[in-house]
Amino acid sequence: MKTVFVTGGSGFIGSNLINYLLKRKTVKIVNIDKLTYASNKNFILSNNPLYRHYKIDIKNKKKIDTLFDKHKPHLIINLAAETHVDNSIIKPDAFINTNIIGTFNLLLASKRYIDNNLFFKNKFKFIHISTDEVFGDIGFLKKSSIENDPYRPNSPYSASKASSDHLVRAWIKTYKFPAIITNCGNNYGPFQHKEKLIPKVIINSLLFLPIPIYSNGRQIRDWIFVEDHVRAILHLTRFGKLGESYNIGASNEISNINVVKKICQKLDYLYPSQNKKYKSYSDLITYVKDRPGHDQRYALNTSKIKKINWKPITAFETGIDKTIKFYIKKINE
């Protein structure tokens, strides 16, 4: 049975990916995650024989080398990353260390491993998961970003991800390294950390706390349900061309304020307010000062991945319903 390394497997996307793989029962999974504040520590049964977790920082090259030699992976899916833009503005150090140096260490370890194990040289793949934010603010006139558009990152977070993408690309070109780079839009769904927009809106609503909206809330993002992203990643492990980059998205361009209003409307129906002060959850919306360098719009052209027969299957209405019901249940436990 083949072994898959998932870095950052206790994060939002990583935990959904691992759960998906465990249900299929076709591979052994090694989760390499140092368990930060944003980790989902309770998403997997620890007694599953196909699953191992190692609490290791990907900056620790010696321990990463040891895991390669011990478990001999066929595939690495690199999801380990610091991702919250606000945090990157306040304290960028962690983003440089994890997103750049951590990825560099994984590339070094992977190259050493396949150079010393000829059996795996033609069987090994490295899937590097990145973001649409590396393309920067595309404004309201451009249609969408394609894979070979220039990178124009505007936050410490997106700059660190752009840097890691460039490292992977350099390994591909210099060493013929068997890697694929993916760039995805905003994910949402169950088990996402409360600092992100959608869970923050739901949780603050249910607790009758202010729902903070930067500036006028007209910033546009392309939203994809996390299970669709997971399916896309695994599709690329089978059908993606090594050395290529692929955009992953669901063509759900929605402004932040419209996402918030939609959630409030659905909560008004699903879980009506019992608070006399707030007849509608939308009464909690509070506009706050915009953050520095706030990009107005991201959007991805996904025609390339669609040519190899992948497409999203979860409509935003369906995905947001599932997400809201998950957090209603969670807050009432």
> b vs e for 80-90, b when ≥16 Cβ sit within 10 Å of the residue's Cβ?
bbbbbbebbbe
Structure tokens at 111: 């190259």
* Closest C-alpha to 53, from 18, 83, 102: 18
Cα–Cα nearest to 16, from 224, 221, 307, 256: 224
Q: What is the dihedral of CA 113, 118, 124, 126, to 10 degrees?
A: 40
Q: Which of 33, 82, 132, 227 is catalytic?
A: 132
| Residue 132: active-site member | yes
Furthest-apart CA atoms within the chain: distance in Å: 69
Residue 82 falls in the annotated catalytic set: no
Which residue in 33, 57, 82, 133 is the catalytic one?
133
Residue with tokens 């000062």: 289
Kindly name the residue from 113, 151, 157, 327 that is annotated as catalytic.
Answer: 157
Q: 58, 98 in Cβ contact below 8 A? A: yes
How many Å apart are CA 59 and CA 83, to the nearest integer?
16
Find the length of the chain: 333
Q: Please give the helix or strand (H or E) that residue 65 lies within, else none.
A: helix 61-71
Whether 228 is catalytic is no
Q: Name the DSSP class of 86.
A: H
Give me the active site residues, please. Answer: 132-133, 157
